[in-house]
């Protein structure tokens, strides 16, 4: 249940971030194909980011490299699902969404 609340909070933050100009401090492509990888650029001082598919209660933590980038493996999912990427927590969280598309 706690993981569900965490994901729900992440999605609410994502909606708020989208309304406020996106996840300032994070850059990634707008779309990705399932099973591929994407490069995420992190402009914050966070040492990890969290990644998960919307509707899932699992978030994977990935380390940020010295060059402030992360190669994110895109999980297998169906086109139309959203990959949620978050850096930071609470009021300073930055969230972006990447839509999964058909190859």
pLDDT in tens, 62-84: 999 999 999 999 999 899 999 99
Q: What pLDDT is recorded for position 16?
A: 47
Q: What is the pLDDT of residues 18-58, one digit of tens each?
A: 443 355 789 999 999 999 999 999 998 999 999 999 988 89
Backbone angles phi, psi at 5, to 5 degrees: -65, -35
Burial category of 19 from C-beta neighbours within 10 Å (exposed 0-12, middle 13-18, buried 19 and up): exposed
Hey, is 45 helix, strand or coil? coil
pTM (whole model) above 0.85:
no
What is the architecture of the domain spanning 2-100?
Answer: Sandwich (2.60)
The domains of the chain are located at 2-100
Q: What is the mean pLDDT of residues 79-96?
A: 93
Given a cut of 80, is residue 3 above it in pLDDT? no
């Amino acid at each position: 249940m706690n993981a569900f609340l965490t994901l729900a909070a992440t999605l609410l933050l994502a909606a708020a971030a989208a309304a406020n100009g996106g996840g300032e401090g994070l850059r990634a492509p707008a779309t990705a194909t399932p099973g591929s990888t994407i490069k995420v650029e992190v402009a914050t001082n966070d040492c990890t980011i969290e990644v998960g598919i919307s509707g899932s209660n699992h978030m994977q933590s990935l380390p940020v490299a010295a060059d402030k980038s992360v190669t994110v493996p895109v999980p297998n999912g169906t086109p139309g699902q959203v990959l949620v990427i978050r850096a930071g927590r609470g009021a300073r969280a930055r969230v972006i969404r990447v839509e999964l598309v058909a190859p």
